[in-house]
Structure 1
Amino acid sequence: MSNRNHRTRWTLRELRFLEKHYDKMDTTRIAEQLGRSVVAVRLAARWSGTAYFRTLDAIRDAGIPVLNIDLIYGLAFQTPQSWLFTLKTALKFNPEEIFLYPLYVRPLTGIGLSGKSWDDERLELYELGRDFLQEQGSMRMFRRNNSHAGQGKYCCQNDGMIGLGCGAHSYTHSLHYSM
């Protein structure tokens, strides 16, 4: 199809359409409607969080008692504003726990070779996240104050936990799996 928007930025109108229809309409139809490829639609859904949001909704609908969201700060091009947006978005799912992890920069990776020191930026993002979550009623561990998570003797390594997403860990009684 010659009218495709190859490598052009997504407009706000297109992203809103994607968010509204992604779980209700076939991906091929969305692609046709927007003049994009199916792959571009899937990537945009993943990038915009639409696919992740559906997964978090499904976890809630399944009645899993403790929703823990792990977030990484210190990514290239991440700003205090985008980090705060990420935190606010995560809180919309009313998780019992949120954990904040710094991006670990290895010497021979793209970020590691950039010559830029990420320590100051990571510290700023961590403090922003910590302060924001505490203002929202989270304790030091960023566990909701009214949560029943952590009561009793729950231990993810022994009792089991499902991890979703890049770098997530899952546990059963006898298996530790990392993506």
Structure 2
Amino acid sequence: MIKGAYIHIPFCHQICHYCDFNKVFFKNQPVDEYIETLGIEMEMFVEKYRDQLHIETIFLGGGTPTALSAPQLQRLFELIKQHLPQTHLQEFTSEANPDELTYDKLVVMKNNGINRLSLGVQSFDEDILKRLGRTHSNEHVYHTIQMAKDIGFTNISIDLMYGLPGQTMEQWKHTLEKALELNLPHYSAYSLIVEPKTVFYNLMTKGKLILPGEDLEADMYEVLMTAMESKGIHQYEISNFAQPGLHSMHNNLYWDNVSYAGFGAGAHGYAKGNRYANIGPIKKYMDAVTAGEFPINSSHEVTATESMEEEMFLGLRKVAGVNKKQFAEKFGVSLEDVYGQVLSKYMETGSIHSNEDAVALTKRGRFIGNEIFQSFLID
């Protein structure tokens, strides 16, 4: 069943120096036409996969969904309501920039069913924010969160980043302190990965990007886990922490290896055993959809072996790990029969633990997650 829908808004008023997602500057873009095209794509998708749809989560990402004006957001929500069945909808999330969320936009979002906000805060050090290409200030964060609470939003998450250029441990501890003072139900924290086609990548190739070393980054991760747990914000995935019962349902679909729809230019989806990526350039995406074609740039039918691999390296991201019974029911073979040798190797080093129900990374294993994930690729 297709349980989630991701909707990509590729417009930004400012391009962050670390971002490699499909995005363009807002100015002079066919924003209104793009929104209408999203509606057409959703209608086409629902027509094809109607018997597979059981949508429990919708996620607006980007780019920046809040780059849209309040009327543009309203039109987007009208199209979503018109085309996507929401009988089973439980979580409706939108990403947002703290300096772009106006009162009017928040009211439109609240009135149209958004019940979870994910704010791109990244740091409470304003020099680091400028280094990242962010345009908001700490005051924007405080004001926006209070305004959202006043309107009635209770499920608010913020994104943080560490391992940033020039970032010290003291700066990271300060950011964590300020973040936790907000007493929010959910936090995500990611180490910087320098991706091609970003400002940071260009600087790195020129030797002009000074990053914390691996040891300091690992220490930052240790401090992160300790600080969150001390405030009752429990880690449930390598980079995600929440109060009990307030995990991100949409992201859990990814880690549970469940099918989901992806709408918009450059969006990715997973339907009927096929992983697909939409056309990235906005005009080419719109031309395909308006011509009555699915805007697929690439598609791959996932083999049984690949599905097992994905089950492991996605599922092991979760603190709860991979459920053995579910693995056996899904693939008709026990997890130990397929991966017994790899499991033994990492259990001996104390990086993986196993019980009757599940296989999961230990705290030690979370520091070398990427290495462990690669070990579950079957030759």
**What SS class does the counterpart of residue 109 from structure 1 fall into?**
helix
Aligned partner of 2:203 in structure 1 is 110
Which aligned runs of 4 or more in structure 1 are off by greater than 6 angstroms? Answer: none
The structure with higher relative contact order (CA 8 Å, sep 6+) is 2
Residue in structure 2 matching 1:144, options 243, 247, 269: 243
Query: Contact 1:73 / 1:83 at 8 angstroms: preserved in 2?
Result: yes
Distance 2:233 2:252 in 1: 24
Q: What is the TM-score with the length of structure 1 in the denominator?
A: 0.52
Unaligned 5+ runs, structure 1: 1-42, 159-172
Larger strand percent? 2
Offset, 1:109 = 3.3
Spell out, residue by residue over 1:69-111, the C-alpha distance to the aligned partner (whole angstroms, 9 max, x if none).
1100011221111111111111122111111101112474324
Distance 1:106 1:67, change over 3 A: same
State the Cα deviation string for residues 37-86 of structure 1 (Å, max 9, x = none).
xxxxxx8xx66511222112222222213111110001122111111111
Aligned equivalents of 2:148, 2:229: Cα separation in 1: 25
Alpha-carbon distance change, 56 to 116 in structure 1, aligned in 2, over 3 angstroms: closer
Per the alignment, residue 85 of structure 1 pairs with 174
- CA distance in 2 between counterparts of 1:123 and 1:176 reads 35
Give the drift of 1:121: 2.2
Give a deviation string over 1:115-170, Cα, whole Å, max 9, x none.
Answer: 7663222211111111111112121232124xx4239xx42699xxxxxxxxxxxx
**Aligned in 2, Cα 1:156/1:116: closer, same or farther, shift over 3 Å?**
closer
Aligned to 1:127: 222
**CA distance change for structure 1 residues 81 and 157 in 2, over 3 Å: closer, same or farther?**
same
TM-score scaled to structure 2, two decimals?
A: 0.27
Distance (Å, rounded) in 2 between the aligned partners of 1:177 and 1:149: 29
Letter in 2 for 1:94: N
- Identity over the aligned pairs, expressed in percent? 23
Question: Residues 103, 54 of structure 1: CA spacing in aligned structure 2 closer, same or farther, 3 A cutoff?
Answer: same
Distance change (3 Å), C-alpha of 1:116 and 1:129:
closer
Paired with 1:56 and 1:92, the residues of 2 have a C-alpha distance of 12
Please give the alpha-carbon distance, in whole angstroms, between the structure 1 residues aligned to 2:159 and 2:210.
27
Rate the CA distance shift 1:119–1:70 in 2: closer, same or farther, 3 A: same
C-alpha contact (below 8 Å) 1:76/1:111 kept by paired residues: no
